Amino acid sequence: MKENDRKNPRIRFNINKSEEEIANGITFVNEIIKIINDFGIKTTEICLYTKKPRKDGTKVKEIRFRVITGDNNRFIKYFAPFFSKDYKKSFIEDMG
């Protein structure tokens, strides 16, 4: 099934890291997962995928996890405001 055809879209997170930095990337993603789990939101385990090498030949892995579909609404309730343009604007103004 294509992602666009899903009745309940998936909330997925991924970052790409060189193979030399994969351990740091996994640590970072685990910290994100812990924060999300602290709100009672379930996530999948981390999965690693091999990506195309960078132009310089560096081997890259994708670190991915997703929110369990049944917890999508809870995730949106707690975290969606942080992705709004107004929040980003006020955050940048506060930092400036």
Band the pLDDT of 32: cuts 50, 70, 90: very high
Q: Which two tokens stand for residue 58?
A: 């560096």
- Per-residue pLDDT, averaged over 3-20, amounts to 82
Per-residue pLDDT reduced to its tens digit, 60-90: 999 999 999 889 989 988 887 777 777 656 6
The domain ranges of the chain are 3-95
Q: What is the pLDDT of residue 22?
A: 96
Distance CA(83)–CA(96), nearest Å, equals 19
**Bridging pattern class, strands 60-67 and 11-18:** antiparallel
- For the entire predicted model, the pTM comes to 0.76
Is the pLDDT at 1 greater than 80? The verdict is no
Structure-token pair, residue 48: 């690693």
Q: What is the pLDDT of residue 76?
A: 85
What's the pLDDT score for residue 96? Answer: 59
Asked whether the predicted pLDDT for residue 40 surpasses 80, the reply is: yes
